[in-house]
A and B are shown apart, each in its own frame.
Chain A
Amino acid sequence: MVVTASTCRTETVFDYSWIHVVSAYWNRYPNPSSTHVLTEDTIRREVRDGKLYSRRLLSKTNPVPKWGARFYNNLPVKIVEDSVLDPVKKTFTTFTRNLGMKKIMKVDEIVVYSEQKDGRTLAVRRAYISSQVFGFSRAIRAFGIERFKSNGHKASNGFNYVLRRMFPQNQLAASSPTTSVNSQSAVANVTYSDMAVASASHSSSSSATEALKRTAKISYEFCKGHASKFAQLFSVKN
């Protein structure tokens, strides 16, 4: 089975040095933008070749719409975050993925924090979203990407809050927001024929085409309303 992934990329500049950013990283929860994060644990950590490897387990609340209960039970979502920190090159890379429920939506995020020439810290974030839900995949991915894009700027708010609290004296001269977004997924012309046909078969209406169209439209709105929730659920951007 071929699983197509949608990808998206954003860049954010933090007005703090790399040293401050990585120090604050381990203390970024809780913050006002992260009320959905319930627990945070380090489950593995070691120094190899001068680099710090860490694995953390996060759990998030599960604001699942009622219809979602058909797909899975209502437990908090678990997220695993691996990271590699190179203190010499001054790079810090985090990889996050959701644990379980990967057929509904699999969200892989990679963020690379590196030092800019001006002393600020650049965070390049990429997300790979895939879904194997029959008939829903493209919709879920498309709106997952939309969510990712619309939240690009909001994403860093919680982290900035922690940075300001930890290092009130160390903020570098403010730059204009430089979040940029680049989506590489083909999200146009999404069709929901699988679902529409399934629904329409229950209808004995003579106007099958109309029913099909109507069902497709409802399905489309249905996906639009809820796929973004999935994306938000499995993402750890805050």
Chain B
Amino acid sequence: MNSIGDDCNELKKQYDACFNNWFSERFLKGETDDSVCAPIFKVYQECVKRAMREQKIELREIETDYTTASEFDSNNSATGSSGKPQGSQHKS
């Protein structure tokens, strides 16, 4: 799948490959240290953010905190998502 920035495709491919490997080989096996893909993620992010600015995608609307289940639970309580993150600091 392509990136939103044409010149980010190669970086995205590298990051996705790193992430997929980390996700199935490490994270799902109980390891939470995600530093292995951090360097490539950082470079890829710089590329994507640049592309987003060029395409005038509103960063303001994107840099809010993660949506959580609590906003939806008032409508339906049949599901059991418990994630409610605190704070919203970027890691990279």
Contact = CB atoms under 8 A, between A and B. Distances in A.
Given A30-B1, A124-B79, A55 B20 contact: no
Contacts, number: 122
Contact of B62 (A57, A84, A128): A57
Contacts of B52: 43, 57
Contacts of A57: 4, 48, 52, 57, 62
Contacts of A26: 16, 19-20, 23
Given A19-B28, A99-B58, A99-B62, A48 B85 contact: yes
A50 B83 CA distance: 11
A39 B68 contact: no
B80 A112 contact: yes
Interface in A1-57: 7, 9, 19, 22-23, 26-27, 29-30, 37-48, 50-53, 55, 57
A110 interface: yes
A7 B74 CA distance: 12
Given A30-B1, A41-B12, A110-B72, A47 B82 contact: no
A126 B69 CA distance: 12
A183 interface: no
A191 interface: no
Contacts of B8: 41
A114 interface: yes
Given A42-B19, A46-B91, A93 B81 contact: yes
A87 B1 contact: no
B57 A78 contact: yes
A84 B68 contact: yes
Contacts of A80: 61-62
Chain A, interface size category, equals: 35 or more
A43 B48 contact: yes
A45 B86 CA distance: 14
B24 A43 contact: no
A59 interface: yes
Interface in A54-82: 55, 57, 59, 78, 80, 82
Contact of A53 (B16, B48, B57, B66): B66
A77 to B, nearest CB: 11
A7 B4 contact: no
Interface in B1-41: 1-4, 8, 12, 15-16, 19-20, 23-24, 27-28, 30, 32-34, 41
A238 to B, nearest CB: 13
A91 interface: yes
Interface in A76-112: 78, 80, 82, 84, 86-87, 89, 91, 93, 95, 97, 99-100, 108, 110, 112
Given A23-B28, A99-B62, A39 B1 contact: yes
The 9 closest A-B pairs by CB, nearest first: A84-B83, A95-B67, A93-B81, A112-B79, A29-B1, A40-B1, A39-B4, A82-B67, A82-B66
5 contacts: A43-B45, A51-B83, A95-B68, A112-B80, A128-B72
